[in-house]
Amino acid sequence: MDRRAYFDDLAARWDSFTDGAKVQGTLAGVVRGYGLRTDEHVVDLGCGTGNLTHVLCAALGDAARITAVDLAPAMITMAQRRLPDPRVRWLVADAASLPLPGRSVDRVICFSAWPHFPAPERVAKELGRVLRPGGQLHVLHIDGRDKINAIHTGVGGAIRHDLLPPAADMGHLLERAGYVVIEQIDTQDTYRVSGRWTA
Ligand SMILES: C[S@@+](CC[C@H](N)C(=O)[O-])C[C@H]1O[C@@H](n2cnc3c(N)ncnc32)[C@H](O)[C@@H]1O
């Protein structure tokens, strides 16, 4: 089973694995810390059933645009049903090849999805293509790296090798792709690496 089929199969059960209200509460705090302008175009990359999308809708104003992207159509269907907000454009797409114009995005937030990208360098460059100069990319997890990696290894199947690298390695990957690293946190409880697109 490939990752797309894996996540399609998981979509109907995904929300039963987490406490949605708690996740969204934590995300709201993180998003506040990112300092979004209310009129930004933000990409929620690997949106799943829309936990972060929901938080972004609450944080952003009427002039904002949110593009919620996921590889798995069933995830997008679930999220769309849950969140009928006209500011959100739902896209079934691969993070490595986005159907978005260059320099059209202010910010990309990739919440709990980065380890699933088989070619992360390609994704970092693709995000650089769609970001405006000065735009920001946030790779975000609200659990620690060891816990996340143990879950993926334990679950096995299509995601058994989907491991989050140490934040320092992620920072180097972003630098090689053309970002300046502005945040690098890798603790027992959280993982946050952010870069500013400079090219
Ligand atoms: C662990 S889930 C997290 C979903 C959501 N961000 C959340 O935390 O509730 C990872 C998501 O990334 C998506 N994904 C995996 N590989 C992807 C890719 N190459 N491009 C876009 N999305 C991808 C999956 O379909 C899945 O919905």
Ligand 1 pocket at CB < 6 A: 3, 7, 46-49, 51-52, 69-72, 75, 94-95, 111-113, 116-117
pLDDT tens digits, 29-39: 999 999 999 99
Does the structure show a pLDDT above 80 at 119? Answer: yes
Q: What percent of the chain has pLDDT over 90?
A: 97
Ligand 1 center–CA 4 separation, angstroms: 9
Helix (H), strand (E) counts: the chain: 7, 7
Tell me what pLDDT residue 41 has: 98
Kindly report the pTM of this predicted structure: 0.98
Q: How many residues does the chain have?
A: 199
Average pLDDT estimate for 139-167:
96
Does the structure show a pLDDT above 80 at 1? Answer: no
Distances (CA, A) of 93 to 12, 19, 99, 110, 146: 19, 26, 7, 14, 28
To test the ligand 1 pocket, which listed residue (27, 70, 141) has its Cβ within 8 A of the most ligand atoms?
70
Neighbour tally for 187: CB within 10 Å: 10
Average pLDDT estimate for 97-113:
98
Sign of CA dihedral 138, 151, 144, 79: positive
Which token pair is 185?
Answer: 């946190």
Structural fold of domain 3-197: Rossmann fold (3.40.50)
Q: Which atom of ligand 1 is nearest to the CA of 70?
A: 22
- Closest to 177 measured CA to CA, from 193, 192, 154, 158: 193
Tell me what pLDDT residue 199 has: 75
Ligand 1 center–CA 11 separation, angstroms: 10
